[in-house]
Amino acid sequence: MIRTRFAPSPTGFLHIGGARTALFSWAYARRHAGRFLLRIEDTDLARSTPEAVQAILDGMHWLGLEHDEGPFYQTQRMDRYRAVIDHMLAAGSAYHCYMTPEELDQLREEQRAAGAKPRYDGRWRPEPGKTLPTPPAGRAPVVRFRNPTAGVVAWDDLVKGRIEIANSELDDLVIARADGAPTYNFCVVVDDWDMGITHVIRGDDHVNNTPRQINILQALGAQVPLYAHLSMILGDDGQKLSKRHGAVSVMQYDEQGYLPEAVLNYLARLGWSHGDDEIFSLQQFCEWFDLDHITPSAAQFNTDKLNWLNAHYLKRAGTARLVDLVRPRLQARGVSVGAEPSLAAIIELHKERVGNLNELADVAEVFYIDLHPKADLLAKHLTAETLPVLGDFIERLPEVAWEAAAIGALIKDCVARHGLKMPRLAMPLRVLLTGLEQTPSVDAVVALMPRAKVLRRLIAGRDAALAGAGTS
């Protein structure tokens, strides 16, 4: 059975690169009826925080990437790591090293000065016929892995192809610190072994870790998983997307008004393709996804493309769902959503004209607040030419049937009676009722509001304009 995992370190939020890794790992397991595991690699106690753990869990939940097993926490598996280290010490595949950090730093400086690659020189590595120094009294040793010195470590990367590293390029990795704490590369190996991971799909910043991890797995007699290293993601500016450069939290996309299906669809196309298909469901993605069509070259993030996808999914989204998503955004602004006008009706009228949920909340807000249109818009559209036709419309509005068709007919009749074109009344109505110059069909906007509210806004605007004209 295929078993994949997503194993983030909780030292920050779940960013977009991590989300893509999670998506690809999740989809590969789904494609092959396998299992997807979530593992929290929290051994870096100085940088790992409960808040970061929760941010990862929240991001995964928002995206809908639910795990089949886990989450597993490395800090809860320390006894297992120590047991494996003890086994390796007994088997001779690991050894104690009493070299201090200061001594190691001095060695590396000497190597650099001599033009050599800075690395541990194996002075505490047991060898046949080699006499080791006497361990310094009171000094706690680290544990190092006895890396092979000959041959190569190789794997057929499912994205990058064949990769070979000479063992002579690898020194003896520290697998347990002087305080007994196991190191990252060692914990990953034991976890992948114990959890039966068959495919490791991760970012290509882990390529350098892979030969070390393979050697440890082989020393343990464990099955080596298949590896697929995903290329980096570049930001809109062409720079590497990272936590320090443009990689915002996945949950920030929620805050910015994106739908999770839009983000997922975009991530799926970020370094992977299925012919010319741009838009597809998560179900389709799982049916199509394979590792053969992942590009080994860097992928570039394109915010405009994400915005286009989000607008597409907004248009397709059910109105009831959008109401549930927009209402709390309005409440967070202190906007009380009343029974009239219907929030559902507002959303239904506007959802094809906006790019995200926040823009949808913006247009909905004007229907519920105490509106004060900008003075420059009032001056622009409430003029000596338009005020008479606006007054005519206000006078006749109480008697019209409250539906868009009848209101539209009234607008046409009013402008015709005054010898004006449609915009000369439509624009004042838009500004007075919404504070905006761009809206859906103005008759539909009028019909959304209760008649009494429409009249109040129109009369107040008209009277203020007339008063201003009288004093000028």
- Residue 192 corresponds to which amino acid? D
Q: State the pLDDT at residue 354.
A: 96
Burial of 420 (0-12, 13-18, 19+ CB in 10 A): middle
Q: 209 with 185: CB under 8 angstroms?
A: yes
Per the structure block, which two tokens stand in for 89?
């010490």
Q: State the pLDDT at residue 469.
A: 61
User: Quick check: 471 pLDDT over 80?
Assistant: no
Q: State the pLDDT at residue 338.
A: 82
Q: Assess whether 305 carries a catalytic annotation.
A: no
User: Quick check: 244 pLDDT over 80?
Assistant: no
Alpha-carbon torsion 416, 418, 419, 425, what sign? negative
Per the structure block, which two tokens stand in for 56?
């990862």
User: Quick check: 363 pLDDT over 80?
Assistant: yes
Q: How far apart are CA 85 and CA 402, in angstroms?
A: 79
- Residue 277 corresponds to which amino acid? D
Interval 5-32: pLDDT, tens: 999 999 888 888 999 999 999 999 999 9
Q: Kindly state the average pLDDT of the residues 377-388.
A: 94
Residues 6+ apart with CB under 8 A from 339: none
User: Quick check: 103 pLDDT over 70?
Assistant: yes
Residues 6+ apart with CB under 8 A from 328: none
Q: What is the DSSP code string of 92-161?
A: TSEEEE---HHHHHHHHHHHHHTTPPP----TT---TTPPPPPPPTTPPPEEEE----SSEEEEEETTTE
Q: How far apart are CA 175 and CA 216, in angstroms?
A: 10
Residue 249: pLDDT band (50, 70, 90) is confident
Q: How far apart are CA 376 and CA 307, in angstroms?
A: 30
Q: 249 with 221: CB under 8 angstroms?
A: no
Report the C-alpha dihedral over residues 145, 147, 153, 157, rounded to 10 degrees: 20
Q: Which of 88-97, 278-287, 293-302 has the highest mean pLDDT?
A: 88-97
Catalytic residue among 160, 243, 305, 380: 243
Q: State the pLDDT at residue 464.
A: 86
- Residue 317 corresponds to which amino acid? A
Cut 0.85: pTM above it: yes
Q: Kindly state the average pLDDT of the residues 52-75.
A: 95
Interval 178-202: pLDDT, tens: 999 999 999 999 999 999 999 999 9
Interval 116-141: pLDDT, tens: 889 899 999 999 988 898 999 989 99
Phi, psi of 283 (to 5 degrees): -65, -45
Lowest mean pLDDT among 216-230, 274-288, 388-402: 274-288
Residues 6+ apart with CB under 8 A from 175: 85, 88, 94, 143, 144, 145, 182, 183, 185, 186, 216
Q: How far apart are CA 175 and CA 138, in angstroms?
A: 21
Alpha-carbon torsion 155, 160, 162, 164, what sign? negative
User: Quick check: 417 pLDDT over 50?
Assistant: yes
Q: Kindly state the average pLDDT of the residues 332-340.
A: 90
Q: How far apart are CA 407 and CA 299, in angstroms?
A: 51
Residue 245: pLDDT band (50, 70, 90) is very low
Q: What percent of the chain has pLDDT over 90?
A: 82
Average model confidence (pLDDT) for the chain? 93
Q: 429 with 458: CB under 8 angstroms?
A: yes
User: Quick check: 247 pLDDT over 70?
Assistant: no
Q: 143 with 94: CB under 8 angstroms?
A: yes
How crowded is residue 131: how many other Cβ atoms within 10 Å of its Cβ?
Answer: 6
Burial of 467 (0-12, 13-18, 19+ CB in 10 A): exposed
Q: State the pLDDT at residue 300.
A: 87
Q: State the pLDDT at residue 236.
A: 80
Q: State the pLDDT at residue 243.
A: 52
In words, the CATH class of domain 375-471 is mainly alpha
User: Quick check: 402 pLDDT over 70?
Assistant: yes
